Amino acid sequence: AQTVTQSQPEMSVQEAETVTLSCTYDTSESDYYLFWYKQPPSRQMILVIRQEAYKQQNATENRFSVNFQKAAKSFSLKISDSQLGDAAMYFCAYEEGGADGLTFGKGTHLIIQP
């Protein structure tokens, strides 16, 4: 079974600074997708970024970027110029290619200090 590990239960960063959230995963599959989802206090999960495993290029969405290390099975999220609205739980997730159904990590609670 696939597993996703987020080793940082909580992270704190000053507004406008950069923070990196860690994620590792374990799978024997070669076709898979990785995601970062954000869950603010409203509880509504929102997609932050998506990465196809077959793509070597790291995905980027505005201030959000990933460092995808396939051999190391690592998928970290970098948030640049942190804003107060970035405060939330961040979940790393894995999905096997050809099948809908996300496996989530336990999450990292991100605190933004003003």
Partner 1 sequence: KAGVTQTPRYLIKTRGQQVTLSCSPISGHRSVSWYQQTPGQGLQFLFEYFSETQRNKGNFPGRFSGRQFSNSRSEMNVSTLELGDSALYLCASSGGTVNTEAFFGQGTRLTVV
Shortest Å, Cβ 20 to partner 1: 21
Site string for partner 1, 76-95 (x = CB under 8 A): ---------------x---x
101 lies in the binding site for partner 1 (CB under 8 A): yes
Shortest Å, Cβ 45 to partner 1: 4
Q: Which is nearer to partner 1, 87 or 92 (CB)?
A: 92
Residue 30's nearest CA partner among 60, 54, 12 is: 54
Q: Got the DSSP string for 57-107?
A: SPPEETTEEEEEETTTTEEEEEE-S--GGG-EEEEEEEEETT----EE---
Q: Given the rule CB under 8 A, which residues bind partner 1?
A: 33, 37, 42-47, 50, 52, 91, 95, 97-107
